[in-house]
Structure 1
Amino acid sequence: MTAQLEAPARTRGGGGLAGGLATMVIGAASSQFGAAVGAHAFGSIGPAGVVAVRQMVAAAVLIPVGRPPLHRFRWPQWWPTILLGLVFATMNLSLYIAADRVGLGLAVTLEFLGPLSVALAGSRTGRDLVCAFGAAAGVYVLVLPQGGSDWYGIGSGLLAAVCWASYILLNRLLGRRLPGLQAPAAATTVSVLLYLPVLAWLIGSGRMTGAGLLFATGAGVFSSVIPYAVDLIALRRVPPRFFGVVMSVHPVFAALAGLVLLGQALHPHEWLGILIVVAVNAFAVTPPRRTKIDQDLSGTA
């Protein structure tokens, strides 16, 4: 992991970990449920329209709660905030494009390579090399590349992975520089400004239907407001590696949400690929058990 993510969590006790675990599981389930709900609006307002409404909803909730004093921000606070806003805008759009083209389960599994990359970054151990090959094998089994593969959808999922890795690093950094929910509130404001032209076009063209607006609003609440808040809270309560292990449930929740809410049944090889990627991530972010010899040596050091 990077040095930024190795900073100690604020609470390491059993109560803190239990609360952090519950918070992260709720956030993961909410995020994938919201993504499936938002997919129902693709036909009327498209992925970009869903993201635009999502960001408006997130801003409407987070700004009054977080109350970011934007006029007092200094450059060390502004530059990661601007970058996080760009990440919000790009991550959501690329994920929805991927979900629309290759299915929610496959899209989120590809996106999940982002947190896995963060967990492996900077390490050169044999264990991490095995994890990297395992992740590659899992993605290959999941996609099974063929001439007719939807490479645009797959590429969108990989772009979402890059964004998710950036989201973790920037959120961790801003969690130390801004109190409360000021970081996601300010970054969402930046993202909303980027999507104002999309909202104006949808309204002007008459494509903003009631059903589309309703589904997109639901996506905003479940996939933006709740996850942004709980991720920031969790990153302050639990060790980063523990955070990475629990985030392994995202692809599984996504596959279940796609199956139940969107009727996107997965093939056996796709389930196998998802499980391989999840297992590799859990293995990668779990510290290796120290032998008694290691413990004795560290005790005499």
Structure 2
Amino acid sequence: MLGSGLSNQIGASVAALAFGSIGPAGVVAIRQWVAAGVLVAVGRPRLRAFTAAQWRPVLGLAVAFAVMNLSLYSAIDRVGLGLAVTLEFLGPLTVALAGSRRRLDLGCALAAAAAVVVLTRPRPSTDYAGIALGLLAAVCWGSYILLNRTVGRRLPGLQGSAAAALVSGALYLPVGIVTLTQDRPQPTVLLCALTAGLLSSAVPFLADLLALRHVSAQLFGVFMSVNPVCAAVVGLVVLDQHLDPASWLAIVVIMAANTVALSTRPRARPSADPSAGPGPGAGGPGPGPGPERQTAA
């Protein structure tokens, strides 16, 4: 689980190294192609057998996946890895708290809201567009989780997620073609983008599948709460992105709110749905269908 989280965030930091040459959209295009290749090879979707009722949530999932990664990487480019991933993490936290009537969950929501105010407090250097992009990524991640549940009910195994990744990759074909033909990036830039795709998609996906054979989905979801801290640390070490003490405290509060909300939730009955696996990953959900992480970041 730790390897999965670190791989995801290191992949995002490597992606940031290529932003100057091909921009976030170019990097996301290559990442989407890597994710599509991995999931199609594993899920082997039978596209011709899909019904209209199955295609609708799959297409919604593809759009959510595509917009989520683009908005997250654009936010990373503007406000840094730690802040962008923390804002995106509000998506699954909101889904976890939505509809709950427990006072404890209300307290978690209020604590997270206060932490967001601290993170986004107005300053001369505040990049409001970057913050908005991070919050858009959060909305997309929440939508991704809800759509994944529908896809998991209507399609067996990983077929729905694989089809969504394939459609998402196809959506980025024009962007990738224009980027590769007009900008003509150096091989090192392409290597960074490809490495980001592997570290943020393929490696976390396989690591999550292995981890979920040994731990419960609830424990997995709780452990994934460490992703914002991993992102902040990786951003500091790899990209030299510094956060002030108040921002570090706010990140820890949001992480703690998610941990408390998930760890105190009544255990659900084990699901026989084979799609209840890992998800996209923050920091850019990687590709995958799980209800806890729904983490392709």
TM-score interval, normalised by the smaller of the two chains: 0.7 to 0.9
Query: Are 1:265 and 2:242 an aligned pair?
Result: yes
Q: CA deviation at 1:189?
A: 0.8
Larger radius of gyration: 1
> 1:243-288 CA distances to partner (integer Å, 9 max, x unpaired)?
4312201101111111111111221111111101111111112227
Of 52-61 and 95-104, more deviation after overlay is shown by 52-61
Residues 179/229 of structure 1: CA separation in 2 closer, same or farther (3 Å cut): farther
Other-structure match for 1:141: 118
Residues 235/153 of structure 1: CA separation in 2 closer, same or farther (3 Å cut): farther
Residues 180/29 of structure 1: CA separation in 2 closer, same or farther (3 Å cut): farther
Gaps of at least 5 residues in structure 2 are 267-297
Runs of 4+ with >6 A deviation: 232-238
> 1:162-219 CA distances to partner (integer Å, 9 max, x unpaired)?
1111222223333343334323321111111111111121122133321221111111
Other-structure match for 2:6: 29
Query: Are 1:74 and 2:51 an aligned pair?
Result: yes
Counterpart pick for 1:256 among 227, 233, 250:
233
Other-structure match for 2:184: 207
Query: Are 1:113 and 2:104 an aligned pair?
Result: no
Of 182-191 and 142-151, more deviation after overlay is shown by 142-151
Residues 201/59 of structure 1: CA separation in 2 closer, same or farther (3 Å cut): same
Percent of aligned pairs with the same residue? 58
Q: Distance in 1 between matches of 2:208 and 2:62?
A: 16
Other-structure match for 1:298: none
Matches within 5 A, 1:234-253: 241-253=218-230
> 1:28-76 CA distances to partner (integer Å, 9 max, x unpaired)?
2221111111111001100000000001122223222321111111223
TM superposition score normalised by structure 2: 0.82
Letter in 2 for 1:130: G
Alignment length (residue pairs): 266
Matches within 5 A, 1:209-228: 209-228=186-205
Matches within 5 A, 1:39-118: 39-118=16-95
Of 98-107 and 280-289, more deviation after overlay is shown by 280-289
Does the 8 A contact of 1:184 with 1:228 survive in 2? Answer: no
Matches within 5 A, 1:125-204: 125-204=102-181
Q: Distance in 1 between matches of 2:188 and 2:74?
A: 20
Letter in 2 for 1:250: N
Other-structure match for 2:284: none
Letter in 2 for 1:37: V
Other-structure match for 2:293: none
Q: Quick one: higher RCO (CA 8 Å, sep 6+), 1 or 2?
A: 1
Residues 165/207 of structure 1: CA separation in 2 closer, same or farther (3 Å cut): same
Greater helix share, structure number? 1
Counterpart pick for 2:261 among 257, 280, 284:
284
Q: CA deviation at 1:125?
A: 2.5
Letter in 1 for 2:235: G
Q: CA RMSD in A?
A: 2.3
Q: Distance in 1 between matches of 2:180 and 2:263?
A: 48
Q: Distance in 1 between matches of 2:111 and 2:26?
A: 36
Equivalent position SS for 2:140: helix
Letter in 1 for 2:204: P
Q: Distance in 1 between matches of 2:186 and 2:50?
A: 38
Q: CA deviation at 1:234?
A: 6.8
Q: Distance in 2 between matches of 1:232 and 1:83?
A: 24
Letter in 2 for 1:119: A
> 1:5-45 CA distances to partner (integer Å, 9 max, x unpaired)?
xxxxxxxxxxxxxxxxx4xx333222111111111100110
Equivalent position SS for 2:142: helix
Query: Are 1:274 and 2:251 an aligned pair?
Result: yes
Q: Distance in 1 between matches of 2:99 and 2:146?
A: 14
Letter in 2 for 1:265: H
